[in-house]
């Protein structure tokens, strides 16, 4: 029987989810390299859904420039972009499933 979730640390959960995202991205990259051209199943599992925070680059919705922030004494840029595929979501669920049985 799996231990209750309240007995587990939040840091471990975050690490497991990040590992699931990396594992899913790796699986997606491997499937994209498979021969056989573009078919429906391959496209379904590897089609990226991208979103982020920043200025749209050249009117293209999937790519972003970082937002420049100028505070006179300090200048910095802020931006973040996420790219999800079906395989990355499967990777997260697989890692959460294994986390369920982790003690």
**How does DSSP assign 6-17, residue by residue?**
GGS-HHHHHHHH
Is the pTM higher than 0.95? The answer reads: no
Q: Examine the pLDDT at 19 and tell me if it is beyond 70.
A: yes
What are the residue boundaries of the structural domains of the chain, listed by start?
1-48+85-103, 49-82
pLDDT band at residue 5, thresholds of 50, 70 and 90? low
Q: Kindly state the average pLDDT of the residues 61-81.
A: 82
Average pLDDT across the chain, whole number: 83
Q: Examine the pLDDT at 23 and tell me if it is beyond 80.
A: yes
- Token couple for 73: 């004494």
Q: Check: CB of residue 21 under 8 Å from CB of residue 91.
A: yes
The reported pLDDT for the residue numbered 6 is: 63
* Sequence-ordered list of residues with C-beta below 8 angstroms from that of 20, at least 6 positions apart, any chain: 91, 92, 93, 94, 95, 96
Q: Examine the pLDDT at 67 and tell me if it is beyond 90.
A: no
The reported pLDDT for the residue numbered 92 is: 92
């Amino acid at each position: 029987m799996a231990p209750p979730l309240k007995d587990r640390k939040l840091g471990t959960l975050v690490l497991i989810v990040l590992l699931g995202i990396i594992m899913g991205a790796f699986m997606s990259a491997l499937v994209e390299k498979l021969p056989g051209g573009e078919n429906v199943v391959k496209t379904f599992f590897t089609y990226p859904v991208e979103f982020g925070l920043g200025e749209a680059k050249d009117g293209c919705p999937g790519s972003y420039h970082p937002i420049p922030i100028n505070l006179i004494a300090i200048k910095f840029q802020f931006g973040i972009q996420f790219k999800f595929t079906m395989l990355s979501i499967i990777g997260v669920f697989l890692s959460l499933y294994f986390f369920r049985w982790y003690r």
